[in-house]
Structure 1
Amino acid sequence: MSVTQEYLAKGKDIVSVVAEQEKVIQEVAQLFAKSILAGRMVHLFGSGHSRMMVEEMWPRYGSFPGFNPIVELSLSFHNLVVGANGQRQAMFLENVPGLASRILRNFDTSEQDTALVVSSSGCNVVPIEMAEEFQRRNVKVVALVSKLHLEGSTSKKSDGKKLIDFADYVLDTGAPLGDAMIYLDGLDSPVAPGSTLGGVLLINCLKAETAKILHESGKSPKVLSSGKIVGDQRAVDLFESAYDEHAHLLAKLYANVGPK
């Protein structure tokens, strides 16, 4: 078997893991849709490469307003790798206690909101404290993790708690311990991670289920679409109206920030 065939075979296993979670996916979609129908938002957070799952949900083609992507560049800007704004600093910062509460200090959340926190290991401090802070605010939390990686890892939080300890729902990417899935003869470190594959599958299943609920509830989502599908003018109108809706929803998160 070639390494391509091996990766694709392991990818099929990940698809099976995601498929087995359909009931939970649908329950989470109900939760997300309830927030959006109430005129509130679903907060999205992920540090490091988990940022990709945040951006996969919104904004991009095939996605729609109702989601608040919380992307801290200090925790997720990898392009320079070394030097100023490098990866060493980002990996250090994602384990600094107290940073999560400073991030969320910017938002006036509501109990009608929900949150999706993504972390493959579920063991880094900032994602854990983000979930903890959301729950402290009575916001329901969905954790997206790699179960096997989480179970085989040690929390970096001082009390030993992991992301799933502050989650109302847990979704599993199906990736293995260590994430990478392909072992080569004579090389002790595996290559080609799987958590992104499982994560993207989960995100888009959630997106589709949430859109279905919104549409059937009389609030058809304003989906960012290609002019090749809906026509150029319709695509422009959708982009503008979707961005406007996002701005209006986001404004509510800033309206009453700070002590009353």
Structure 2
Amino acid sequence: MNLTTQYLQRSRALLDTIDAQTEAIQQAAQWFSQTILAGRMVHLFGSGHSRIMVEEMWPRYGSFPGFNPIVELSLSFHNLVVGANGQRQAMFLENVPGLASRILRNYALSAQDSALVISSSGSNVVPIEMAELFQQAGVKVVALVTRQHAEKSISKRADGKKLTDFADLILDTGAPVGDAMLTIPGLDTLVAPGSTLGGVVLVNCIKAEVARLLTEAGQPPRVLSAANVVGAERAVTLFEGAYDEHAHRLAKLYQHVGIPSYVSEQRTLPISPNV
């Protein structure tokens, strides 16, 4: 059997693992839709390659506002690999205690919010602390991990706790320990990881279920759609409307954050649509 066929077979097994989590996916969608219907946001966080799942959720074609992608460049911009902004620094920073609290200091959280925290190993400090801080604020936390890999991983946190210890719901990408899925004769290390594939499928399943719930509640989402599907004029309207809605939701996270000022207490006057 060639390697391509082997990878495809193992990928189908990931889909089976995800299919078995339908009830958990629907629960996550229920929490997320409640947050969005309340005018709040679902916070998305992942460091390293977990950023991929954050950006897959929003903003991209087939997605809609209601999600707050928290992407820290210091933890995920490492495509130079070495030198300034390299991978070594990113891997170091994602295990610095206290960084999560500095990130979340930028937002006024609410118990109406919910969160999706992604970490394949579930053992790095920053995503663990993010989930912990979300829970302390009364925010429901969905953790997306690779269960087998996370169970075998050693937490970088001093008390040994992992992301799954601060999750109200756990989703599993289905990838194996170590993530890579293929053995090549003569090579003593595995290649071709699976967690990203499993993670992307999971977030899109959640996205679809949330869209259904919003539509059933009478608030169909503004979905970013291609012009060659919905027409050029409607595509522009959807994009502009979706981005504006994102701004309006985000404003609520900033308006009353931290130390009050006369600006935060000031009644907002309506703005002319022609401005």
- TM-score interval (norm. to shorter): over 0.9
2:87 paired residue number? 87
Deviation readout 1:31-53 (Å, 9 max, x if unpaired)? 00000000000000000000000
1:127 paired with 2:132, answer: no
Deviation at 1:259, TM superposition (A): 3.3
1:147 paired residue number? 147
Identical-residue share of aligned pairs (%): 70
1:176 paired residue number? 176
Partners in 1 of 2:59 and 2:20 — Cα distance?
A: 27
List aligned pairs for 1:1-260, cutoff 5 A: 1-260=1-260
Indicate the RMSD between aligned Cα atoms, in angstroms: 0.5
Deviation at 1:185, TM superposition (A): 1.1
The 3-state SS of whatever aligns with 2:157 is coil
Partners in 2 of 1:139 and 1:46 — Cα distance?
A: 17
Letter in 2 for 1:108: A
Letter in 2 for 1:168: D
Deviation readout 1:119-155 (Å, 9 max, x if unpaired)? 0000000000000010111111000000000011100
The 3-state SS of whatever aligns with 1:45 is strand
Partners in 1 of 2:206 and 2:194 — Cα distance?
A: 19
Deviation readout 1:85-115 (Å, 9 max, x if unpaired)? 0000000000000000000000001000000
Letter in 2 for 1:58: W
Deviation at 1:78, TM superposition (A): 2.0
Partners in 1 of 2:216 and 2:88 — Cα distance?
A: 46
Letter in 2 for 1:8: L
Can you give the 5+ residue segments of structure 2 that lack an aligned partner in the other structure?
A: 261-275
Deviation readout 1:49-99 (Å, 9 max, x if unpaired)? 000000000000000000000000000012111100000000000000000
Partners in 2 of 1:178 and 1:78 — Cα distance?
A: 21
Letter in 2 for 1:142: V
Partners in 2 of 1:148 and 1:4 — Cα distance?
A: 23
Deviation at 1:157, TM superposition (A): 0.4
Partners in 2 of 1:188 and 1:138 — Cα distance?
A: 46
Partners in 1 of 2:259 and 2:238 — Cα distance?
A: 37
**Range that drifts further, 184-193 or 153-162:** 184-193
The 3-state SS of whatever aligns with 2:85 is coil
Partners in 1 of 2:65 and 2:109 — Cα distance?
A: 17
Can you give the 5+ residue segments of structure 1 that lack an aligned partner in the other structure?
A: none
The 3-state SS of whatever aligns with 2:215 is helix
The 3-state SS of whatever aligns with 1:68 is strand
Which of the two has higher C-alpha Rg?
Answer: 2
Partners in 1 of 2:70 and 2:217 — Cα distance?
A: 27
Partners in 2 of 1:206 and 1:134 — Cα distance?
A: 20
Letter in 2 for 1:36: I
Partners in 2 of 1:30 and 1:214 — Cα distance?
A: 10
